[in-house]
């Protein structure tokens, strides 16, 4: 009897711990992807990672059945030259939010099995060092879209641009 | 004693003048560099743009001269670029729509920096996903390099051995040339379609 009670208590505690981990871990929100133009074999997906926990976590791997390979990439602008570089694993510090968006981080999808079409959804599996595996479905917006469809940045004007140089005729 | 003090004062004054002169020279030099970095660049009209001979998406040879009479909006990129290039072409497509009939005065060009993989057929399917008015151009590596140099675009192949693929680093800017092929202005690739349309409208309305 006592043994059963202890077992029950232990079970409840571990279950509680598991739930706590689940809610404390990194949250994935607003996933979205861009439709691929023409026969482009590479695509990009974006999302927001929120870490409400007390410790940092890291996004270590990304995969999707839609592409042969998926990686975390970063766009770096150096003197107007665009460079795309692998940027994983991606650290999300405690209490911080990391937004993957055009011109910054993206999930680079390489070797798409078929073009990504606007209106479809892209399944993504994200693996975190601590939070474990998370699965999300990313709605696919237009090619070159700047935010999730229907979102405040669905249009292509989220940033104020800068003229590089100017010469009036 | 007084003479000595006055000499001391004179040399001190000279020291101040010298220090002042150095500061003024440094400020002018700094200002000059700052202005040349952001402002109108004298001589830039000759330096950016120029003749090119490339292959269009129908496989036809075209030169810059064919576009005389139209303003040219030129972007260098490649079709396997999933972030900066679609962002920019989407801005161009949005701006074309906002410009309405005024867009007839403009020829947007998408010149690949990855001619090894971007054939005419690849470019056609890529550009038409944004707007059929955007014309994709490819060419031999030497022809692409020549055009890029003329437009002051740098590009380089960046190997990604872990996925046995490569990316192309490239200057990501939109270059506007007037109907005579003279350089007018460059826009950053995150200008946004509203601002791009507004800026283009101001130029195109002039002629």
* Residue-wise pLDDT tens digits, B57-87: 889 999 999 999 999 999 999 999 999 999 9
Residue B163 has pLDDT above 70, yes or no: yes
> Residue ranges per domain, chain B?
1-39, 48-204
Asked if A44 contacts A109 with a C-beta cutoff of 8 angstroms, the reply is yes
Could you say which of B41, B86, B191 has the minimum Cβ distance to residue A144? B86
Between strands B71-77 and B106-112, the pairing is: parallel
Residue B31 has pLDDT above 80, yes or no: no
State the Cα–Cα distance between residues B118 and B116, nearest whole angstrom. Answer: 6
B95 touches A: beta carbon within 8 Å: no
A158: Cβ contacts below 8 Å, ≥ 6 apart: A101, A146, A147, B192
Could you say which of B86, B158, B191 has the minimum Cβ distance to residue A161? B191
Contacts of A161 in chain B (CB under 8 A): 187-192, 195-196
Task: Inspect the interface and report whether the beta carbons of A38 and B122 lie closer than 8 Å.
Answer: yes
A86: Cβ contacts below 8 Å, ≥ 6 apart: A71, A72, A73, A74, B160, B162
The predicted model gives B38-57 an average pLDDT of 71
ipTM rounded to 2 decimals: 0.76
Give the pLDDT confidence of A75-110 residue by residue, as tens digits: 999 988 999 999 989 999 999 999 999 999 999 999
B204 touches A: beta carbon within 8 Å: no
Those of residues 16-35 in B touching chain A at CB distance below 8 A are none
Give the nearest chain B residue to A46 (CA atoms).
Answer: B83
Could you say which of A77, A110, A157 has the minimum Cβ distance to residue B194? A157
State the Cα–Cα distance between residues B59 and B120, nearest whole angstrom. Answer: 6
B81 touches A: beta carbon within 8 Å: yes
A3 touches B: beta carbon within 8 Å: no
**pLDDT for res B26:** 58
B40 touches A: beta carbon within 8 Å: yes
The predicted model gives B182-190 an average pLDDT of 94
Residue B2 has pLDDT above 60, yes or no: no
State the Cα–Cα distance between residues A146 and A134, nearest whole angstrom. Answer: 24
State the Cα–Cα distance between residues A124 and B167, nearest whole angstrom. Answer: 23
The predicted model gives A123-132 an average pLDDT of 97
A90 touches B: beta carbon within 8 Å: no
| Band of pLDDT at residue B4, cut at 50, 70 and 90 | low
**pLDDT for res B34:** 45
**How many angstroms separate the most distant Cα atoms in chain A?**
92
Element (H, E) at A12: helix A2-24
B36 touches A: beta carbon within 8 Å: no
What angle do helix axes B84-99 and B193-204 make, rounded to 10 degrees? 50
Higher pLDDT, B44 or B145: B145
| Band of pLDDT at residue A162, cut at 50, 70 and 90 | very low
Q: Which residue has the tokens 């949005």?
A: B94
**pLDDT for res A96:** 97
CATH architecture under which domain B48-204 falls: 3-Layer(aba) Sandwich (3.40)
B128: Cβ contacts below 8 Å, ≥ 6 apart: A38, B134
**pLDDT for res A19:** 41
Phi-psi region of B181 (alpha: psi -120 to 50; beta: other; left: phi over 0): left
**pLDDT for res B160:** 87
**pLDDT for res B19:** 66
Give the pLDDT confidence of A38-81 residue by residue, as tens digits: 999 999 999 999 999 899 999 999 999 999 999 999 999 998 89
The predicted model gives B29-57 an average pLDDT of 63
Higher pLDDT, B73 or A151: B73
Residue A160 has pLDDT above 90, yes or no: no
Residue B165 has pLDDT above 60, yes or no: yes
Class of domain A25-141: mainly beta
Give the pLDDT confidence of B124-143 residue by residue, as tens digits: 999 999 999 999 999 999 99
The predicted model gives B2-20 an average pLDDT of 64
Task: Inspect the interface and report whether the beta carbons of B185 and A165 lie closer than 8 Å.
Answer: yes
The three-point CA angle B96-B101-B102 to 5° equals 70
Residue A161 has pLDDT above 50, yes or no: no
**How far is CA B82 from each of CA A28, A107, B4, B160, B171, rounded to the nearest angstrom?**
22, 10, 76, 15, 15
| pTM attached to this predicted model | 0.77
**pLDDT for res B23:** 60
**pLDDT for res B110:** 98
Task: Inspect the interface and report whether the beta carbons of A109 and B82 lie closer than 8 Å.
Answer: yes
Please report how many Cα atoms fall inside a 13 Å half-sphere around the Cα of residue A135, on the Cβ side: 4
The predicted model gives A120-139 an average pLDDT of 97
**How far is CA B174 from each of CA A69, B73, B96, B194, rounded to the nearest angstrom?**
31, 6, 14, 15
> Residue ranges per domain, chain A?
25-141
DSSP secondary structure, A40-53, as one string: -SEEEEEEEEE--S
- Here the tokens at position A40 are 């482009």
């Amino acid at each position: 009897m006592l043994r059963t009670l202890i077992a029950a208590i232990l079970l409840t505690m571990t279950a509680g711990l598991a739930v706590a981990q689940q809610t404390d871990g990194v949250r994935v929100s607003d996933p979205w992807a861009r439709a691929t133009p023409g026969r482009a074999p590479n695509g990009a997906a974006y999302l927001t990672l929120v870490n409400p926990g007390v410790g940092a976590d890291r996004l270590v791997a990304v995969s999707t059945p839609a592409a042969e390979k998926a990686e975390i990439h970063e766009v770096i602008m150096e003197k107007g030259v665009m460079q795309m570089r692998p940027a994983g694993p991606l650290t999300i510090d405690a209490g911080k939010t990391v937004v993957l968006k055009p011109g910054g981080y993206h999930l680079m999808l390489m070797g798409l099995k078929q073009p990504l079409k606007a209106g479809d959804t892209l399944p993504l599996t994200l693996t975190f060092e601590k939070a474990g595996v998370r699965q999300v479905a990313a709605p696919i917006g237009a090619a070159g879209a700047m935010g999730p469809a229907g979102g405040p940045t669905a249009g292509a004007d989220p940033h104020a641009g800068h003229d590089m140089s100017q010469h009036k005729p | 004693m007084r003479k000595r003090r006055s000499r001391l004062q004179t040399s001190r004054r000279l020291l101040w003048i010298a220090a002042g002169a150095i500061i003024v020279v440094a400020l002018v030099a700094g200002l000059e560099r700052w202005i040349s970095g952001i402002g109108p660049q004298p001589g830039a009209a000759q330096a950016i743009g120029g003749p090119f001979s490339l292959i269009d998406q129908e496989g036809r040879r075209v030169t810059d001269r064919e576009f005389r009479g139209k303003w040219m909006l030129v972007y260098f990129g490649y079709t396997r670029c999933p972030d900066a290039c679609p962002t920019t072409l989407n801005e161009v497509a949005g701006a074309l729509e906002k410009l309405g009939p005024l867009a007839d005065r403009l020829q947007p060009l998408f010149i690949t920096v990855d001619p090894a993989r971007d054939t005419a057929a690849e470019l056609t399917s890529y550009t038409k996903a944004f707007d059929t008015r955007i014309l994709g151009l490819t060419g031999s590596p030497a022809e692409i390099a020549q055009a890029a140099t003329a437009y002051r675009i740098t590009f380089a192949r960046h190997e990604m051995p872990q996925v046995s693929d490569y990316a192309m680093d490239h200057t990501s800017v939109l270059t506007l040339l007037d109907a005579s092929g003279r350089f007018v202005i460059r826009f950053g690739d995150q200008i946004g379609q509203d601002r791009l349309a507004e800026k283009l409208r101001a130029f195109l309305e002039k002629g």
